[in-house]
Each structure stands twice: as structure tokens, then as C-alpha cells.
């Protein structure tokens, strides 16, 4: 007869009081199946190690943006972002300028962006869509340095007043509007030269030729002829742009960490919304910058000198639909353009600030 407490071989087993409770055995088995309590080799070396809890909803472990970025950091990051944005997207910008032409030459009438780009390269040369890039890059650096530095500092100042300790969409929009004043003041002359060089059959092959001709024939004021219209377009554009970007960041990146995917997505959506809403103003700005000769034939004053004159000329030449010429190219341009600008800006802001903090810590 089996001895009480003996195992299968008849050897005495552990007393009843020493046997583990069935509930405890099940809990222990569950821990062992999940690898909790085991060492690296599966033994008991880590038996006392507490289980590691992980939040299944946590996103990528990006580092938080360092606090205390300086004005110099904003300016350097903004300049790099502006130059890269304009250089990468310049061929599409050339197409946009041509598609906004009110009465284009028959050889410069395009159905869509890709067809336009292909025809320009095939009929005018591989580098034709890049003509004027140098003046754009020269203007974009200081313009975007002022733009981002002003926005960052003013956004924080206004947010502390309007919504202390939080994010204010009114502050974001107002900061974007003021930053636009500085950006356009630095960028407007480059825009005039760039767009004249982008037009079909442009007589200018070099930036210096264009600058000299505009200065001699139309005076220094020609470089700022579209400034008020540019502001009229860019102030609402940037207000919509910054408010949309910050709104999307609250949803995609609420902890405001350095998260490239959220910066790209928020920037792209913000650019698309703002571009579509302000296309009529961009058409008028292009007309003021280029002083398109065929359109001028319908204007008795000889030169289009203001926003009201530009709006009237656009309507006389093409009706209501003319205000939306090039809307496809404008949106296609702005989606990657603002995505590049924000992702590059946030990256360099993060990188420069982190290096500065590491340098201070090592002193």
C-alpha cells in the first residue's frame, strides 16, 4: 500500500504543509511561461528580478526636444530649412509660375504639372526649370532665419499672455502673421527676379541681367511692387499654416517630442490647406511680379501697380476661373515644401540645441 506523502516511486514526498498551493503554482507557471523570473540563460539567476512593464500604446522612443533653444538656433535651423525647401521644390515652382500666366503663349499652355515639367525640359533644356535658383537660395536663407526666429519667440510670448502654460491658436496665428512681415521684406526682391526668369521666353539668362534691367527700366520700386499683395496673401496663408500645424501637432505629437513623422505629416497638411485657400492672391502676386506683357495689353495704365489693379486685370482677362489658375501646381508644390521645411527645421533645432547642452555639460 502506498505510503502517505510518498511519490510515484514509493519514496517519501514532501509533507502536505510544504506542497505549493494550486493557485500559487498556476501563477508561478504563468510567470515562467512569460520569461519572468528567469535569468538570461533560462536559469534562476534572475528569479528575484521584477517584471518589466511596458506600455503597449507608447510610440517610438524619440527624445524630447531640448528646452531653452536660443534665437541663433532658430535662425540657423530656419535658414537651412528655407534653402533646402526652395532648392528641392524649385522645378515645381517654375511650373506654378507658368501655369498662373493669364494669357500664355500657345507653346506654354500645359494640362498638368508633370506634362508641363516634361515639355519644359524637352523643348528648353534640362536645366531650364532651375533658372533663377541661385537668387532664390540667396534670399531664402535670411528670409527664413528671420521668419522662424520671430515666430518662435513671439509665439511663446503671446501664449504666456493669452493662455499661460498652454498652447494658444490665436498666439500661433498672430506670431505667424508678424513673422511674415520680416520674411517677405527679405524675400520679395528675390521673388521678382526669380519669377521673371521662370516665365516662358524670358529674355534673362543671368540674375545680374534681370536685376539690371528691372532697375533701369522700372526703378527700385519694382522690386517691392507686389509687397502689399504678397503680404495680403501670405498673412492669411501663414496664419492658416501655423494654426493648422500646431493643431495637428497637438493630436499627432501631444508631448511635443522630436518625432519626424508627425512633423512631416503636420507640415504637409498645413501647407495644402493654406495653399488652396490663398491661390487667388498668389495669381495676383505673380501678375504684379512678372508684369505679363499680354495681360498688360488689357490694362490702360501700362503698369499694374497695386492689388486692386491686379485683381481687376485678372478678372478682365480670364473671369472668375482665372483666380484659380495653377491651383493644382500650388498645392502640389506646398505639400512637400512645407513638409520639408518643418521636418528640416525641427531636426536642426533639435540637433543644435542638443549639441549646445552637451557642450555646456562637458565644460
Cα–Cα distance for residue pair 141/183, rounded to 1 Å: 10
CB 295 within 8 A of CB 316: no
pLDDT at 297: 62
Cα–Cα distance for residue pair 302/304, rounded to 1 Å: 7
Query: Which residue, among 281, 89, 290, has the nearest Cα to 199 in the 3D structure?
Result: 290
pLDDT at 38: 39
pLDDT at 226: 83
Cα–Cα distance for residue pair 227/214, rounded to 1 Å: 16
CB 148 within 8 A of CB 345: yes
Q: Which three cell numbers stand for residue 204?
A: 534673362
Cα–Cα distance for residue pair 145/175, rounded to 1 Å: 15
pLDDT at 53: 43
* Overall size of the chain counted in residues: 363
- 96-119 in b/e form (b: 16+ CB < 10 A) is bbbbbbbebeeebebeebeebbeb
Q: Which three cell numbers stand for residue 318?
A: 480670364
Query: Which residue, among 158, 74, 51, 34, has the nearest Cα to 350 in the 3D structure?
Result: 74
Q: How far apart are the first and last CA of the chain?
A: 82
Phi, psi dihedral angles at 193 (to 5 degrees): -65, -45
pLDDT at 208: 94
pLDDT at 43: 40
Q: pLDDT averaged over consecutive 10-residue blocks of the chain (363 residues)?
A: 45 49 48 41 39 42 54 94 94 91 84 92 94 94 95 91 84 92 94 94 92 93 87 88 92 89 95 91 83 60 75 86 88 92 94 88 76
CB 122 within 8 A of CB 147: no
Cα 8 off chain centre by: 74
- Residue found under cell 506670431: 175
Q: Which three cell numbers stand for residue 105?
A: 503663349
CB 281 within 8 A of CB 229: yes
pLDDT at 293: 64
Own/partner pairs, 157-162, CB within 8 angstroms, 24+ separation:
none
Q: Which three cell numbers stand for residue 96?
A: 506654378
Largest CA distance in the chain: 123
Cα–Cα distance for residue pair 101/140, rounded to 1 Å: 24
pLDDT at 328: 87
pLDDT at 115: 93
Amino acid at each position: 500500500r502506498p505510503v502517505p506523502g510518498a511519490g510515484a516511486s514509493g519514496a517519501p514526498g514532501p509533507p502536505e504543509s510544504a506542497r505549493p498551493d494550486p493557485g500559487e503554482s498556476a501563477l508561478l507557471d504563468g510567470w515562467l511561461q512569460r520569461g519572468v523570473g528567469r535569468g538570461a540563460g533560462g536559469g534562476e539567476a534572475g528569479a528575484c528580478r521584477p517584471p518589466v512593464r511596458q506600455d503597449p500604446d507608447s510610440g517610438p522612443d524619440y527624445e524630447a526636444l531640448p528646452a531653452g533653444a536660443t534665437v541663433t538656433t532658430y535662425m540657423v535651423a530656419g535658414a537651412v530649412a528655407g534653402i533646402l525647401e526652395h532648392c528641392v521644390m524649385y522645378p515645381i515652382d517654375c511650373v506654378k509660375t507658368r501655369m498662373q500666366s493669364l494669357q500664355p503663349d500657345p507653346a506654354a499652355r500645359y494640362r498638368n504639372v508633370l506634362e508641363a515639367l516634361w515639355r519644359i525640359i524637352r523643348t528648353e533644356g534640362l536645366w531650364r526649370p532651375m533658372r533663377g535658383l541661385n537668387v532664390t537660395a540667396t534670399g531664402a536663407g535670411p528670409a527664413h532665419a528671420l521668419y522662424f526666429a520671430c515666430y518662435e519667440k513671439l509665439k511663446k510670448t503671446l501664449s504666456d499672455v493669452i493662455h499661460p502654460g498652454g498652447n494658444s491658436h490665436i498666439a500661433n496665428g498672430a506670431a505667424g502673421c508678424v513673422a511674415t512681415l520680416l520674411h517677405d521684406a527679405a524675400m520679395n526682391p528675390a521673388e521678382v527676379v526669380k519669377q521673371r526668369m521662370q516665365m516662358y521666353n524670358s529674355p534673362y539668362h543671368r540674375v545680374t541681367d534681370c536685376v539690371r534691367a528691372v532697375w533701369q527700366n522700372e526703378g527700385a520700386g519694382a522690386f517691392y511692387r507686389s509687397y502689399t499683395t504678397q503680404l495680403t496673401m501670405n498673412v492669411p496663408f501663414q496664419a492658416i499654416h501655423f494654426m493648422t500645424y500646431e493643431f495637428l501637432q497637438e493630436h499627432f505629437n501631444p508631448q511635443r517630442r522630436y518625432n519626424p513623422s508627425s512633423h512631416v505629416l503636420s507640415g504637409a497638411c498645413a501647407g495644402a490647406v493654406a495653399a488652396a485657400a490663398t491661390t487667388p492672391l498668389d495669381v495676383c502676386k505673380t501678375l504684379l511680379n512678372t508684369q505679363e506683357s499680354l495681360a498688360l495689353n488689357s490694362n490702360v495704365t501700362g503698369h499694374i501697380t497695386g492689388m486692386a489693379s491686379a485683381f481687376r486685370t485678372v478678372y478682365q482677362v480670364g473671369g472668375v476661373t482665372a483666380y484659380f489658375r495653377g491651383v493644382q501646381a500650388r498645392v502640389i508644390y506646398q505639400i512637400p515644401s512645407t513638409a520639408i521645411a518643418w521636418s528640416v527645421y525641427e531636426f536642426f533645432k533639435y540637433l543644435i540645441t542638443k549639441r549646445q547642452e552637451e557642450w555646456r555639460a562637458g565644460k
